[in-house]
Structure 1
Amino acid sequence: MSVVFSSHHRLQFLFVAMACLCVLLGGPSYAAGADSLTIAGQTYDEPGVSGTGWAWTDADHLQLNGYADEAIGAEGDLVVTLVGQNVVDEAQAEDADMCTRRP
C-alpha cells in the first residue's frame, strides 16, 4: 500500500516535524535579563533604580558613568555599558560571579 501526500499535506507534515524538533531541542533561547543586581553592597530586585555613577535601566542593562565603589553582581544576564572612567573595588568581592574590573 502506498500513500501519496499532496503538496499541502507535505508542508503540514514538515511544519509539525519542525515544531516537534524545536520542542525536543528546547526551543529558542532568549536572554531574560537579570533577576537581581547587587551593587555597592545593596541588592535590588527590580530595574529602574540608580545611584552615584550607575543606573539599572532595564532587566538586561546596567550603565556605569563615573562609578567608583564596591563589586557588582547580577543573577542572570546583564549588559554593562561603561561611560567615562569607572573603578570597581575588587577587595570587597566575596562571590566568584561578581564582576571586578579596574581600568
Structure 2
Amino acid sequence: MHTPSTTALAWTLLIAAGLLEIVWAIALKQSEGFTRLWPATIGLTTAAISFVMLTLALRDLPAGTAYAIWVGIGALGVAVVGIVALGESASPARLACLALILLGVIGLKVVDG
C-alpha cells in the first residue's frame, strides 16, 4: 500500500540515488579505467548504493518515472561537475540541452509527485 509517508520516502531515496549517480560517475572517470584504486572503489561502492536506493524507490514509484528522474539527475549533475570542475564545454547549445533535462526531471516530479 502506498501511503503519503512511503511515497515521500521513495522520492527521497530516488533523489539521493540520483545524487550518488553523480558521485560514482565522476569517481569512475577519476579511476582512469580502474587503474586507480580509491576512485574505482568509491565509484563501485556508490554505484551499488545508488542501485539499491533506486530499487527501494521503485517499490512505490512508477518505474518509467523513477528511472528517468534517476538518470536525469545523474546526467545533469555529471555534466555540471564536468563543466565546473573538469573544464568541459559550456556552450550555449550544451547548456540549453541540460536545461531541457532539468525541465524534464521537474516535469516528471510534478506530474507523478
TM-score (norm 1): 0.23
Structure with larger Rg? 1
Point out the structure with the larger helix share: 2
TM-score (norm 2): 0.21
Point out the structure with the larger strand share: 1
